[in-house]
Amino acid sequence: MVFIDGSVVNVALPTIQTELGASAAATQWIVEAYALLLAALILAGGALGDKFGRRRLFVLGTAVFAATSIWCGLAPNIGNLIAARAAQGIAGAILTPASLSLITAGFDDDTTRGKAIGTWSGFTAITTAFGPVLGGWLVEHASWRWVFFINIPLAAAVLAISVVHLQESRDEDAQDVDWAGAALSTLGLGGLVFALIEAPARGWTNPVVFLPLIGGIACLFAFIVVESRSAAPMMPLELFRSRTFSGTNLLTLMLYAALGGALYFLPFRLIQVQGYSSTGAGAALLPFVLLMFALSRWSGGLIGKYGAKLPLVIGPCIAAAGFVVFAIAGTSGSYWTTWFPAATILGFGMAVTVAPLTTAVMGSVDQRRSGVASGINNAVARTASLLAIALFGIVVAFTFNSRLDTRLDDIDLAPEHRIAVEDQKHDLAAAEPPADLDEPTRDRVQSAIDDAFITGFRVAMWIGAGMAIVSAIAAYALIDGKLSTNPAPASHGAADEAASP
């Protein structure tokens, strides 16, 4: 449920924007409200499960996720939907770490535990891959509301299985939950994201923008101070003394920011500019996810043969090439000559990267702290996407506005028609020419709107390519090991264990 709702909603956004009359900023909040609470609270959610019982938190999180999914599906307006998505993110932050902790606690043997965790990972990949396809089909043949209602039968099955089969487990030595850290991280990220999303429409000098921006930055600084002094921090800062741990997390921040920020705009281009169906837009990235799923076992073995550095330099470079192909793809070719090569190259680059990245993170710290290290890296990935969607939104909006002004200057429009178009700039590709224009002029205005969005989309993809290259540089500079194609030594301790089948 959590992974479906992390991927399925994007393909429904163009339809939601139209039906609920939402601006581009409000549409961003549908994704960001969920991602914000999930990223900020997922570490605290894991600590809650350890302290109060993992099954109890798992069941609670599942029940609340189902209830908030109903709320999302019944939301009468955009404000209601954003609030419901925020509540859904809180439930996801409780549910996700509890699910993996239950598996870890439920299997004593390393081999069976590894298979169980592999099964868990496989199902997340499957739902990530087919969620957008299913969501697109539901949007096209039923309603965007069914994107959320599909969680209800899943939740009912999970709750029934949990009550009958799951045993309670907890960590008797668990320390107190770092409530101060959780609150400061949520307020800090929330203020920062709010300012970044609202700035294009309101302006940076508006108190509604700069006060949350200043407050958010202050809370994030306070978060670092609190974590450095806390007896039981949710993010132990001493882990970052490891060059490899710092390098892998910097790589994660840049690469996942590129991925989340740039690809957020793909469904809007496919549906609103190029006329793809919701199902077609949902399937567009299927090669990307299927490659990651199919090659995960192979790429997990790369670190055992070559060490971490080589795949973590090469993989992001291949991903950067994928972003470049996304940037230069035209509007006239078929899917197989435009988006399929881009999705395939990007998917292969990420496949080379992800498994070695996970192994490097786990192997960069003492084995007893590997769970905390993994949790931090997961939170960094989610935070990267959260911030990137807001930042890329600013870039795309600025580029769209500038390009649209240039294109409209070449069209002989009456002042009232020019104003009518400019008043819709905050809608980006959903903007429409005035209805009372003659057909040739309407077509020229529509072409200007489409061209402005494509220009913004391409800038976003070029930035994504640059960030992927920066992540490769971070791997080269910070991750321990030689950049060599010679096989690595036979023993890598925890890294070898994580890479082995």
pLDDT of residue 110: 62
Same domain for 399 and 470: yes
Same domain for 103 and 229: no
- Domain closes at, from 126, 143, 171: 171
Same domain for 246 and 215: no
Same domain for 371 and 286: yes
State the residue for tokens 């007896």: 231
Domain housing 356: 240-501
- Domain closes at, from 187, 211, 233: 233
Same domain for 199 and 244: no
Same domain for 270 and 215: no
Same domain for 352 and 250: yes
Under 8 Å between Cβ of 150 and 138: yes
Same domain for 224 and 111: no
- Domain closes at, from 141, 171, 201: 171
Cβ density class 305-314: b for 16+ within 10 Å, e for less: ebbbbbbbbb
Cα 482 from Cα 487, distance rounded (Å): 11
Quick one: tokens of 326? 């996304």
Under 8 Å between Cβ of 252 and 358: no
Residue 70 one-letter amino acid = I
Same domain for 249 and 388: yes
Please, which residues have CB within 8 angstroms of residue 499's CB and are 6 or more apart in sequence? 300, 301, 302, 303, 304, 355, 356, 359, 492
Same domain for 250 and 210: no
Burial label for 50, CB within 10 Å (0-12, 13-18, 19+), is buried
Cα 130 from Cα 158, distance rounded (Å): 19
The number of folded domains in the chain is 3
Same domain for 222 and 123: no
Tens-binned pLDDT, residue by residue, of the chain (501 aa)? 887 887 778 888 989 988 998 888 889 899 889 988 888 888 788 778 877 888 899 999 999 999 999 999 999 999 999 999 999 999 998 888 888 778 777 777 666 766 776 677 667 766 766 778 888 888 888 889 998 998 999 999 999 999 888 888 776 666 677 888 888 988 998 899 889 888 887 888 899 899 999 999 999 999 999 989 888 788 888 889 888 899 999 999 999 999 988 888 999 999 999 999 988 988 898 898 888 878 877 877 777 777 788 999 999 999 999 999 999 998 888 899 999 999 999 999 998 988 788 778 877 877 666 667 777 888 888 889 889 988 999 999 999 999 999 999 998 888 999 999 998 888 888 889 998 888 999 999 999 999 999 999 999 999 999 999 999 999 999 888 665 544 443 333 333 323 322
pLDDT of residue 495: 31
Same domain for 460 and 365: yes
